[in-house]
Chain A
Amino acid sequence: MIKLTINKKPYQVEVDPDTPLLWVLRDALGLVGTKYGCGVAQCGACVVHLNGEAVRSCVTKVSRAAGQKVVTIEGLAAKADHPVQKAWLELDVAQCGYCQSGQIMAAAVLLKENKNPTDADIDAAMAGNICRCGTYLRIREAIHLAAEMQRKGSNG
């Protein structure tokens, strides 16, 4: 039995400790906002926050998350109104949407650590998140907008 805290809620799961966290989130707990893209830490679709870091849940064993704080896209903001989410909506960033929960979770860590990122900071932070639809330019624009919203205190 492994104890997890996900989006501030306690869970207990009966899984092999080597199971990837992504499998537990999606298959055992039904939190399917986090996506499976590659399974080998190459694409970023599966990013969740583990103690505030943007870890790739497809290669993170559930044992690493035991007793730690996990946040998924479902829990990023209570009303789905994190500045990043609001900026994403405002600029219609998503195309097919598949990569977007990973993009948003990665961008949220960037904005937590850098309130006013430059294009270079955004590139450095987001280079590991692939978008098959090529929404990169909108992502960059939305991160600037989210930073502005965050600075103005409009975090919902």
Chain B
Amino acid sequence: MKQHPEYGTRTSALMKIITTLSVFIFLVTAVTTVYSGDYVISKSTETRLTDSVPVPLKAERDSVASVQAFSKVYKVLMSPRCMNCHPAGDVPLQGDDSHLHTMLPQRGVDGKGVYSMKCGNCHQPENTPGLNTPPGNPEWHLPPARMKMIFQGRTPHQLAKQLVNRKQNGDKSLEKLLEHADDTLVLAGWHPGEGRTLPPMSHAEFKKAWTTWIVKGAYAPNP
């Protein structure tokens, strides 16, 4: 079918307007997303990451999926196997009821205890055999005094923000956070020694949720 010449000119003018409009809408959306209160990745972190590693790709951002994944992450992090070594005070917690560790061992400056009460005096490089004997790991320690990385008592919103804040997370970039899922002490949570319950999901499932949370934008749930 032959097109009327004037019709063609009008179409292209219309296309131009539509294109301009969509660019405008895109920009408005992007700016609103970056500056909305619950978006927890700082802009500089985000830029650095996209420069060095392919995550999180802007295209992958999805606040709904990210927050949904975080609800799983939160369940694991607040389980005794994780939270017991991220106490609000300076004494680690013990047991499935997260009571204060008997003997009241202290955090110390480096998180490895004090004087004759250093973690490694009882906690061996591996679990000690037997029911409720000291669990072990070569790296056994609490977060250090200058950065306590407290989980106990944190809401999902607070914990998500804390986890990606380099001033509160041990100066971990998002890339480092992703790797942290396989940290030896994180893995120790799934190898807790006899008489202790496991975190509420498998490590594989946790890692998937952790990765999804971060890759989809590391959004914090609403307060």
Please give the residue numbers on chain A whose beta carbons come within 8 Å of chain B beta carbons, in ascending order: 40-42, 47, 53-56, 59-61, 64, 105-107, 109-110, 113-114, 121, 124-129
In the complex, which residue of chain B has the Cβ closest to the Cβ of A103? B116
Query: Which residues in B have their C-beta under 8 angstroms from that of A107?
Result: 116
A55 to chain B, nearest CB (A): 5
B97-128 contact mask (Cβ, 8 Å, vs A): 1 or 0: 00000111110000000111110111011001
The listed residue (A41, A53, A59, A121) touching B118 by CB distance below 8 A is A53
Most buried by A among B118, B120, B122: B122
Chain B nearest CB from A71 CB (Å) reads: 13
The answer to whether B116 touches A54 (Cβ under 8 A) is: yes
Residues of B within 8 A of A127 (CB): 103-105, 117
Q: How far is the CA of A48 from the CA of B117 in the complex (A)?
A: 13
Using CB atoms, name the residue of chain B closest to A106: B116
Distance from A76 Cβ to chain B, minimum over Cβ atoms (Å): 13
Contact with A along B31-63 (1 / 0, CB 8 A): 000000000000000000000000000000000
A40 to B128 alpha-carbon distance, docked (Å): 8
Quick one: which of B115, B122, B130 contacts A56, CB cutoff 8 A? Answer: B122
Contacts of A128 in B (CB 8 A): 103, 105, 116-117, 122
Cβ of B115 and Cβ of A114 under 8 Å apart? yes
Q: What residues on B are CB-neighbors of A114 within 8 Å?
A: 115
Kindly state the separation between the CA atoms of A135 and B20 in the bound complex, as whole angstroms: 84
Q: Name the one of B106, B122, B130 contacting A124, with C-beta atoms under 8 angstroms.
A: B106
Closest to B133 in A: A40
Contacts of A109 in B (CB 8 A): 115-116
Q: How far is the CA of A64 from the CA of B114 in the complex (A)?
A: 21
Interface members, chain B 126-140 (any A CB < 8 Å): 128, 130, 132-134
